Amino acid sequence: MDFQVSEEMSVRLAMIDEFMAREVIPLEGELLHGDPDELAEAVAAAQAKVKQMGLWAPNHPVEFGGLGLSMVDHGLFAEAVGRSPLGMSVFGTQAPDAGNIEILHKYGTPEQKDRWLRPLVDGEIRSCFSMTEPETAGSNPVLLETTAVVDGDDYVINGQKWFTSSADGAAFAIVMAVTDPDAPPHRRASMIIVPTDADGFNLVRNVSVMGHVGSGHASHGEVIYQSCRVPRSNLLGGEGDGFVIAQDRLGPGRIHHCMRWLGIAARAFDMMCERANQRVIGNDGSRLADRQVIQHWAAELDAEIRGARLQVLHAAWVIDQHGAKAARDEISAIKFVVANTMLKAVDTAIQVHGALGVTDDTILAYWYRHERAARIYDGADEVHKTSLGRRLLRRYAGDQAG
């Protein structure tokens, strides 16, 4: 395994680090305390600068305006921009658009790519991904109840979805719905493109998450599809391919998430160490950093972040070399390891900051609220542990049988 970074990528990462510190992180005050419209204008201005720098949408296909980075290089990029909640949006790689771009590129027809993929990569429109339902277990997509019934040249979609992230202001949704309830479980559902201005697409509300409703891209919508009619030509891939497409979307997407989480962990660690060195706690001028417990926290977190980072880079390398299917074990492992490492880093940084840590005077409380879901979305920790553990034990059973 060789994680050597090319000279070109090293230059890109240096440019990104400098831009994040100078242009993006200063916008967090507007994110936490300002007006959403003013923040959107500031983000758009930063996006324009990124495009001028030639760093826009680096993981997306070259033929559609991206840089076509390898999975390892994109992981390093995601880590760099993950140091701020605004980083992914500023560089045009935010979820759920990034995952939708990947599956549109792989499964979309030429017409679908022209209408939806190209403007999505260019940042002219946003999208959302509509799979999770309030009444079915998100950890088991074969239980979906939303249906898409053929009626002439159309699909008629009925069902309720929620946590359709970024539906507020999106131009279209990719909806996972049951098209053949009598098929084998993993062939019942399909992916269908639904314009958000289609009759029957109803954005009911932005779901409040830990007291914050959010708006625009930073929101999680509840959507009701009420006899929502779209052309059958909006089918993505083949009928019954929904589960396969979802797996294709989620596998590489976990690399994006995990490296972004490592960016969060690294910045939380930096903030923790800076606070420990600055905070005077004794008449003799002693500081938090002089306390052994803080030193232990720093040592443990540094070791855990290093280990998690190497795990993710290895998983990305396996995907680059052998494909996502070959990296199933690695992907399952990093999902729960890195989510917990990131959350531990944020929680420890809050503890070291004391009362300041739970306020919105730093970015830490924002992460504490919004990133707790990391242990749930894209497969709960327990699902990944069960899946990985079962595969590992079956291999040993097979060895013994042989």
CA distance 145 to 135: 8
- 214-215 and 218-231 as β-strands: parallel, antiparallel, unpaired? antiparallel
Tokens 């249906």, residue located: 147
pLDDT at residue 247, rounded to an integer: 83
CB count, 10 Å around CB of 47? 16
Is the Cβ–Cβ distance between 69 and 61 less than 8 Å?
no
> What is the pLDDT, as a whole number, of residue 60?
80
- The pLDDT, as a whole number, for residue 245 is 93
Side-chain-side CA neighbours of residue 389 (13 Å): 7
Residue type, 387: S
Strands (E) located in 208-288: 214-215, 218-231, 235-236
Place of tokens 């419209």: 37
CB 158 within 8 A of CB 228: yes
What six digits make up the tokens of 115? 């209408």
Please tell me the predicted confidence (pLDDT) of residue 76.
92
Closest to 39 (Cα-Cα) out of 170, 217, 192, 197: 217
Residue 299: burial class (beta carbons within 10 Å; 0-12, 13-18, 19+) = exposed
Measure CA 345 to chain center: 18
pTM above 0.85, yes or no: yes
Strand, coil or helix: what is 270? helix
pLDDT at 252: 66
Contacts of 184 (CB under 8 A, 6+ apart): none
Domains recognised in the chain with CATH numbers: 7-121 (1.10.540.10), 127-236 (2.40.110.10), 244-401 (1.20.140.10)
SS3 of residue 154 by DSSP: strand
Candidates 278, 331, 256, 322; CA nearest to 82 is: 256
Measure Cα distances from 150 to 75, 145, 147, 156, 186 in Å.
40, 16, 10, 6, 19
Looking at residue 287, its pLDDT comes to: 97
Task: Please report the DSSP string for 226-238 in residue order.
Answer: EEEEEEGGGEESS
- The DSSP letter of residue 210 is T
Mind listing the pLDDT tens digit of every residue in the chain (402 residues)?
A: 777 889 999 999 999 999 999 999 999 999 999 998 999 999 999 999 999 999 998 878 788 777 888 889 988 999 999 999 999 999 999 999 988 998 999 999 999 999 999 999 999 999 999 999 999 987 788 899 999 999 999 999 999 999 999 999 999 999 999 999 999 999 999 999 999 999 999 999 999 999 889 899 999 999 999 999 999 999 999 999 999 998 888 766 778 889 999 999 999 999 999 999 999 999 999 999 999 999 999 999 999 999 999 999 999 999 999 988 899 999 999 999 999 999 999 999 999 999 999 999 999 999 999 999 999 988 899 999 999 999 999 999 976 654
Asked if residue 185 lies in contact with residue 240, where contact means CB atoms within 8 angstroms, the answer is no
Q: Are 331 and 360 in contact (CB under 8 A)?
A: no
Predicted local confidence at residue 1, as pLDDT: 72
> DSSP secondary-structure letter at 84?
S
